[in-house]
Amino acid sequence: MNNSVDKVLTYTIHEVAPYINWIYFFHAWGFQPRYAAIADIHGCDSCRAYWLTTFPEEERAKAAEAMQLFKEANRMLNQLDENYHVHTIFRLCEANADGDNLILDGKLFPLLRQQIPHPDGSPFLCLSDFVRPLSSGIPDTVGIFAASCDGEVELLYEKDPYKRMLVQTLADRLAEAATEKMHEYVRKVAWGYAKDENLSIPDLLREKFQGIRPAVGYPSLPDQSVNFLLNDLLHMEQIGITLTENGAMRPHATVCGLILAHPAARYFAVGKIGNDQLEDYARRKKMSVEETRKFLAANL
C-alpha cells in the first residue's frame, strides 16, 4: 500500500497525554524507572499512600518527591491543554532497498551498516535490510514522520526555572507521545498493515506492535544530517519545524524518523564504523568526507 502524500494530524494535549512514557519524563528529573509507576495509579489517595509504603523507608522521601512531581506535571498538562497542540506529519513513500541505501519516492536515502563483528557471529545490520530490495522489481513502503509541540511552549515561564523545566520536559514527552499515537493510526488505518491490532497503551509503550520507528539520533540512525533528507520529502515546515544549518530541529521538542513494517525489523546500534564506510557514505550522500565526519563523530 502506498500513498505518497503528506498527512498532518494535530492533537490536543488531552488526546496524547495517555501515550506519555513517564519513565523518560522521570529520568529527565533524575528519578529511576521504578518511581514512574506512580503514573499507573489514578485518582485514589489510599492507593498512592499504599504505593509509598512499597518503598524501603530510606526511599520514601524520594518516592514522595516523585508523587508531587507527577501531580504538578498533570496540573501543567491541564494548563497547556487550554492553548497548545501537538502536531504530527507523515508520508508513506514508495520504497526499495538498494544495498545500504533506501530509495524513497525516487530519492536516495543513504544509511549506515554495522561494521564491528558480533561475538555471536550475528549479521551486520542496516535499516535497509528490512525493506524489499530494488532487484525484486516489487515496490515496498516506508513511512517517514515528524512531530512537534507548538513552538510557543518553549517560551513559557522564562523567569521561573522550575516551571520552565517542567514545561520543557513535558513538551519532549508530548512530542514522543503524539508520535506513538500517530504511529498507531498509521499501522491500523493509513498504511493498514496491522488493521486488527488491539494493544493497550502500556503494550504500545513496550513496542509490542509490528515494525519499528527509528528516530534520527537513534543508534541505528545516528546521522543528524538525515533531517535534511527527511525535510526534503516531508516539508516539516507544515507543522512549524525548521532546521538549523547543522540539521538540528526547532522547536526543541521535536522528533522525526522512519517507520518500517517488516515483522523482523528491530532496533540496533550501528556502533563504530571505519574510514572505508565513512568515505563510501560521504560519496553516497554527495558530501565531503570532512563534513560527513562532523555528523558521525560518535561513530568514528
More confident residue, 4 or 142: 142
Position 42 pLDDT exceeds 90:
no
pLDDT at 276 over 60: yes
pLDDT given at position 98: 98
pLDDT of amino acid 219: 97
Q: Which domains does the chain have, with CATH numbers?
A: 3-11+87-299 (3.10.196.10)
The CA distance from 191 to 189, in Å, is 6
Q: Give the residue ranges of DSSP H helices in the chain.
A: 13-16, 22-28, 45-53, 60-80, 161-185, 201-205, 226-234, 275-285, 289-295
Q: Give CA–CA dist 84/266, Å, rounded.
A: 34
Whether residue 272 is predicted with pLDDT greater than 80 in this model: the reply is yes
pLDDT in tens, 215-239: 999 999 999 999 999 999 999 999 9
List of long-range contacts for 132-140, beta carbons under 8 Å, 24+ apart: 132/95, 132/96, 132/97, 133/96, 133/97, 133/98, 134/96, 134/97, 134/98, 134/103, 136/96, 139/2, 139/94, 139/95, 139/96, 140/94, 140/95, 140/96, 140/97
Per the structure block, which three cell numbers stand in for 172? 519532549
Mean pLDDT of the chain: 96
Percent of the chain with pLDDT over 70: 98
Rounded Cα–Cα distance for residues 226 and 110 (Å): 9
How confident is residue 48, by pLDDT bands cut at 50, 70 and 90?
confident
Q: What is the pLDDT of residues 127-178, one digit of tens each?
A: 999 999 999 999 999 999 999 999 999 999 999 999 999 999 999 999 999 9
Percent of the chain at pLDDT > 90 equals: 94
Cis peptide before 119 (omega within 30 of 0): no
pLDDT at 187: 98
Could you tell me if 91 and 7 are in contact, meaning their C-beta atoms sit under 8 angstroms apart? yes
Q: What is the pLDDT of residue 23?
A: 97
Contact 92, 4 (CB under 8 A): yes
- For the stretch 72-130, pLDDT in tens is 999 999 999 999 999 999 999 999 999 999 999 999 999 999 999 989 999 999 999 99
Rounded distance, CA 71 to CA 41, Å? 11
What is the DSSP code (8-state) at residue 295?
Answer: H
Distance CA 57, CA 53 (A): 8
pLDDT (mean) for 48-65: 93
pLDDT computed for residue 3 by the predictor? 52
Q: How far is CA 220 from the centre of its chain?
A: 12
Q: What is the reported pLDDT for 6?
A: 87
CA distances from 201 to 17, 119, 205, 206, 263 (A): 11, 35, 6, 9, 20
**pLDDT tens digits, one per residue of 171-217:** 999 999 999 999 999 999 999 999 999 999 999 999 999 999 999 99
* pLDDT value at residue 22: 98
Helix/strand/coil for 68: helix
Report yes or no: 134 and 103 within 8 Å, Cβ to Cβ.
Answer: yes
pLDDT at 297: 95
The rounded distance, in Å, linking the Cα atoms of 170 and 253 is 9
Helices 161-185 & 60-80 angle (0-180, nearest 10): 70
Instruction: Report the sign of the C-alpha dihedral through residues 205, 190, 224, 18, in that order.
Output: negative
CB 216 within 8 Å of CB 258: no
